[in-house]
């Protein structure tokens, strides 16, 4: 059974940085595209970033392009989201997800989420 566990969330001031991690088990990590999403209460889930199986291709939402960086270490079954120049509007729960192909929707496996709060 696939498990995805996020960590690294917390409280940070505007302009600061956080690095989220997502470690997986129960799936062949290198065989999956990994994505990050976020969802605020009462709002639709929003695509943030995705990275291909080898890490050679990435995709970002316009709202985070140039500020966030997604990377992965297949040997550690882990995907990261480095978030710089954080803004209060980045405050929400962040989720990692796994899917067999590059996409912005329809991911198969999901983590439980980690809260990111950016104070102004």
Task: Kindly tell me the burial class for residue 25, based on how many C-beta atoms sit within 10 Å of its own C-beta (0-12, 13-18, 19 or more).
Answer: exposed
The arithmetic mean of pLDDT across residues 2-31, rounded, is 97
Could you give the CA distance from residue 120 to residue 115 in angstroms, rounded to a whole number?
Answer: 16
C-alpha atoms less than 13 angstroms from C-alpha of 54 in its C-beta half-sphere = 2
Q: Please give the DSSP secondary-structure letter assigned to residue 101.
A: S
Tokens of 69: 């960086």
Could you give the CA distance from residue 34 to residue 80 in angstroms, rounded to a whole number?
Answer: 10
Q: How many residues does the chain have?
A: 120
The arithmetic mean of pLDDT across residues 9-30, rounded, is 97
- For residue 106, what pLDDT is reported? 83
- Report the share of the chain in percent with pLDDT over 70: 100
Each residue of 78-119: pLDDT tens digit? Answer: 999 999 999 999 999 999 999 999 888 889 999 999 999 999
Each residue of 42-90: pLDDT tens digit? Answer: 999 999 999 999 999 999 999 999 999 999 999 999 999 999 999 999 9
Mean pLDDT of the chain: 96
- For residue 75, what pLDDT is reported? 97
Residue that wins the pLDDT comparison between 40 and 6 = 6
- For residue 21, what pLDDT is reported? 98
Could you give the CA distance from residue 85 to residue 99 in angstroms, rounded to a whole number?
Answer: 28
C-alpha atoms less than 13 angstroms from C-alpha of 103 in its C-beta half-sphere = 10
39: number of Cβ within 10 Å: 14
Q: Sign of torsion, CA 79 85 89 92?
A: positive
């Amino acid at each position: 059974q696939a498990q995805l566990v996020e960590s690294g969330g917390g409280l940070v001031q505007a302009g600061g940085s956080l690095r989220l991690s997502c470690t997986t088990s129960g799936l062949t990590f290198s065989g999956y595209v990994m994505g990050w999403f976020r969802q605020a209460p009462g709002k639709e889930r929003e695509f943030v970033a995705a990275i291909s199986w080898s890490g050679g291709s990435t995709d970002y939402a316009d709202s985070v392009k140039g500020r966030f960086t997604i990377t992965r270490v297949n040997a550690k079954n882990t995907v990261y989201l480095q978030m710089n120049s954080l803004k209060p509007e980045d405050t929400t729960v962040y989720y990692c997800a796994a899917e067999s192909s590059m996409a912005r929707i329809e991911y198969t496996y999901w983590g439980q989420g980690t809260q990111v709060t950016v104070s102004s």
